[in-house]
Every structure is written in C-alpha cells, then in structure tokens.
Amino acid sequence: MKLILVSMMALFLSTACVVEKSPFKEGKILGGKEVSAKTLNLGYTTYVEYCIQCHGMDGKGNGPAALGLLPPPRDFTQGLYKFPWVNYGELPHDEDFVRIIRHGLKGTAMLPWDISNERLDAVIQYIKVFAPEVWEGKDKTLGTKLELPADPFGDTYRHQAIEKGRKVYHVTAACTQCHRGYATKEEINGWAKELGTTVDIGADLHQLKSQDGEYNYKVLPPDFTYHDLRSITDVPSIVQRLMYGVTGSGMPGWKDVVTDEELWALAYYVQDLRETGADNKRRNELMDKLNGKK
C-alpha cells in the first residue's frame, strides 16, 4: 500500500514537472511593454497545445514534426523574423505577428491559425520569452513603420507599370543578383542601353541563387512564376515587402534605393509574373523564349 502511494506520488511529481500549467509567477517587460504572468501562462499553454510540435519545447524550431521541413520552423531563440512590416532587422509590432500567424506563411508548413484573440495575443508574448536579449527590458524599441506611398499607376496604367517594372527588375535594381531573370540577355542589354547604363549579366541569369543569410540553412529566393510567396496577397503587400526586405535572408529593403514609382512598378511586375505562373500556356511561352526555343 505504502509502495503504491509512493509510486503514485512520484508519478504525480514527474508529470507535474513535464506539464507545469503556470510556469510564470511574475510578469515581464517585453518590447518595452508590461506583460502579466497570467498572459504568459496562457501563452505557454497555447504554445504547448499548437506550436510545440514544430517550434519545439525550447523554441529552437526542433519539435518532432520539424524533421525534413524546408524551410524549417523558425528558431525563436534567434529573435529574427522575416515577414513583419518593419525595417530590416528591427523588432516586429504585435500587429505584425497577428497578421503572420492569422494568415500563415504560404508555401511552408506554417499554416494560418484560427485561435481566439486572447490566446493569439498570449502566444505572441510567450514566443518573445525565447529571445530575452532581444525582447526583455524597458530599453527595447519596436521597428519603424513606413507609410505606404500612393499608387501612381492604378488599374488604368497597370500595363505601363508592368513594362517599367520589368526594366527596373532586370536593370536598375538588378533583382537577378539573387532571383532569376525573366528576360533574355539581349532584352536586358537593350533596356540598359535605353536607360543609359550597363548591367552585369552572369551565366546564372536564369537560376535562383540560394543565400546564406542569418538562419542555419540556405534560403532560396522564390521563382515568382513557380513558388508560393510567404507574405504576399496583392500588389500593395508586395510594395510593403519590398520597402522592408526579408530580415535575415539577405533580401534588403528597397525604400529610398529606388523611387516610390519604381517600387510600385516592381510590385505590378512581380504580380504579373505570379499571374503568368498560374497560367500554364503563358508560363510555357515565357520559358520557351528564355530557353531559346522561339
């Protein structure tokens, strides 16, 4: 009898250690904001319920379901986030996490999460705890939000926007340093001449150049006619992405590097490439041209 009691106690104690319901006794200051112990505890249980299988108990992105995933689940101890709308390398606002977690990251294992607002806010606070040096303390400031410039084209001038975007993409901004090109060498040289400049065209023009970045794996720039884009829904969301870049992946922000008009032109062009990709006939025609079959 005594033995049973002792072993039951031991069992109780060991499970109590594994699934501690309320690990936080005190609140924390995260990103300059006070967060209560109650919120952190709710965040913890939400995380254990929904996120742990990929992001892992210790937040390192090594949960049991992470095996073989590409891209791998984010390691939250790095405190690096790719898709907020803040300048490259700066800290996301809670509204960024809300957008990312509610929409998911298309083309990855990170699905959209339909959890209550209260649990969503709580889990957002909790994942910050994995990167204390990045988030904890009163001195931490959140990233800069830039104003979305007005669209100089609109639907009426969409066609002109795409034509301009094509030249900015291949010549002015040389996005092909990392992404693939969608034009022939001759076309690109022709546009460079028209714009009064020259451009270096590598033998890898039509290949994706994977980037070392700051994560522990090579990050592949998407082919806009082939891959899903993580954080993109429409043309304005492409402008947002281009303004800020993709933190840690090597893709810089383009605000002030190109003009606002060029930003919008690029976004219309990228959107057109996505539409080309969704239409087999259009994509095949483009690829045949690039492969010299036409």
- Half-sphere exposure of 73 toward its Cβ, with a 13 Å CA cutoff? 25
User: Which one of the spans 32-40, 70-78, 181-189, 199-207 is the region binding ligand HEC (CB under 6 A)?
Assistant: 70-78
Please select the residue that binds ligand HEC; options are 30, 35, 40, 54, rule is CB under 6 A.
54
Q: Which of 126, 109, 129 is nearest to 49 (CA)?
A: 126
Please select the residue that binds ligand HEC; options are 222, 259, 282, 285, rule is CB under 6 A.
222
Applying CB under 6 A, the site for ligand HEC has a residue count of 48
Please select the residue that binds ligand HEC; options are 128, 164, 167, 179, rule is CB under 6 A.
179
Q: Does 211 bind ligand HEC (CB under 6 A)?
A: yes
> At 95, phi and psi to the nearest 5?
-60, -30
Which CB, 65 or 278, lies closer to ligand HEC?
65
Which CB, 98 or 287, lies closer to ligand HEC?
98
Q: Does 55 bind ligand HEC (CB under 6 A)?
A: yes
User: Which one of the spans 9-17, 22-30, 141-149, 173-181 is the region binding ligand HEC (CB under 6 A)?
Assistant: 173-181
Residue type, 177: Q
Whether 203 contacts 176, CB under 8 Å:
no
Q: Does 246 bind ligand HEC (CB under 6 A)?
A: yes
**Tokens for 55?**
């992001």
Q: Does 43 bind ligand HEC (CB under 6 A)?
A: no
Whether 191 contacts 171, CB under 8 Å:
yes
Characterise 213 by phi-psi region: left (phi > 0), alpha (psi -120 to 50), beta (else).
left
Question: DSSP alpha helices (H): ranges in the chain?
Answer: 2-18, 37-50, 52-55, 94-103, 117-128, 132-135, 158-167, 185-194, 235-244, 260-277, 280-290
Which CB, 123 or 290, lies closer to ligand HEC?
123
Q: Does 250 bind ligand HEC (CB under 6 A)?
A: yes
Contact characters 84-123, ligand HEC, x per CB under 6 A: x------------x--xx---x--xxx--x---------x
Please select the residue that binds ligand HEC; options are 86, 91, 201, 219, rule is CB under 6 A.
219
Question: DSSP alpha helices (H): ranges in 196-245?
Answer: 235-244
Whether 286 contacts 225, CB under 8 Å:
yes
Measured CA to CA, the distance from residue 287 to residue 89 in angstroms comes to: 35
Measured CA to CA, the distance from residue 39 to residue 51 in angstroms comes to: 16
Cis preceding-peptide flag for 71 (omega within 30 of 0): yes
- DSSP strand pairing (28-30 vs 33-35): antiparallel
Q: Closest approach of Cβ 123 to ligand HEC, in Å? A: 5
Q: Does 50 bind ligand HEC (CB under 6 A)?
A: yes
Please select the residue that binds ligand HEC; options are 74, 164, 167, 170, rule is CB under 6 A.
74
Residues that bind ligand HEC (CB under 6 A): 50-51, 53-55, 65, 69, 71, 73-74, 81-84, 97, 100-101, 105, 108-110, 113, 123, 127, 169, 173, 175, 177-179, 211, 219, 221-222, 229-232, 238, 241-242, 246, 249-251, 254, 266, 270
